[in-house]
Amino acid sequence: MNILNVTRVFPSDDWYVGEHSHTCYELHVIPGGEGFVNIEGHDLHVRGGQFYITAPYVKHTQRVLQSNPMGEYCLRWELLAPTDDSPGIQEESDEYRILKKYFSRCYPNTFEDAYRMDKKFERIFAELDRPRAGSRLRVQAILIDIMVDVLQSLHSYGEESVPRNQKQTEEERRLNRIMEFIQKEHHRPITAEEVSRIFFLCPRQINRLLRKRWNCTLGELVTRHRLEEAISLLRQSAMTVEEIALRCGFTSRYYMYEVFRKHGYSTPGNIRRAGL
């Protein structure tokens, strides 16, 4: 796990965050008040003493109950998926299985803050607001403690608490999030290692899911999307071939020509002329 940052939101009766998503995981701890969260179309009523989690590329909105506005502590982190040849030890293997089994389907749900993580966040910001010798180490220790609380809460949540229809759609949600990631990031290099880190699946698992759904690997799916985007721009935009190549994630127009030829398409120039 790679912890990125912590933030806090003070209660305000006009606090509202429209639909958005992140490339990391987020822990939202509610110390008091009430509010409403919509996660992938599911409405949740949240209150003080609860927490919820959002995963990468999971869309969500947040707003307070104006008569009793909630505050929030937020912790963002990345999960580093093990590679196919990771040696590991037994404890790491057990943690990985717990995370894989429960973590990706902990939404859209709320959980009781049985470990009083809100108090631990208070200690973190007390150290950050008035830093002193050892504050950095103390904050790191508290953050690790909070992540252990999260893991134990999810482990206690258990298999039996996952609704049947949610189990059936878990694979579909993963595929949709991977496709959304490709659509947003195809203009730059995308590696299997990066996708593994974001979606907590090793490259072999990702390619197995993609072959099952679209009969292709991650690299092939990225190339397919770039080709579709390039052809659409050639037919409908006034951008130059060089601009289209860079916009769609090809390193140059010459490489785009090569990819077009490899996949049995006519040249970009011919496609543009045919579309006019």
Query: What per-residue confidence (pLDDT) applies to 154?
Result: 79
Determine how many CB atoms are found less than 10 A away from the CB of residue 201: 20
Higher pLDDT, 201 or 30: 30
Give me 108's structure tokens: 């859209």
Every domain of the chain and the residues it spans:
2-161, 163-276
CB of 78 within 8 A of CB of 2?
Answer: yes
Residue 263: predicted pLDDT: 92
Superfamily of the domain at 163-276: Homeodomain-like (1.10.10.60)
pLDDT of residue 252: 92
Q: Name beta bridge partners: 62.
A: 17, 37
**Judging by DSSP bridges, how do beta strands 72-78 and 25-30 pair with one another?**
antiparallel
| pLDDT tens digits along 142-164 | 999 999 898 888 776 654 444 54
Asked if 24 contacts 69 with a C-beta cutoff of 8 angstroms, the reply is: no
Share the mean pLDDT of the chain. Answer: 85
Handedness of CA 237, 238, 241, 246 (dihedral sign): negative
Average pLDDT over residues 102-111: 74
pTM tops 0.85: no
Cβ–Cβ < 8 Å for 118, 73 = yes
- Mean pLDDT for the stretch of residues 211-237: 92
pLDDT in tens, 34-68: 999 998 888 899 999 999 999 888 889 999 999 99
Q: What is the pLDDT of residue 40?
A: 81
Quickly state the pLDDT bin for 94 (edges 50, 70, 90): low
Q: Which CATH number fits domain 2-161: 2.120.10.30, 3.40.50.2300, 2.40.50.140, 2.60.120.10?
A: 2.60.120.10
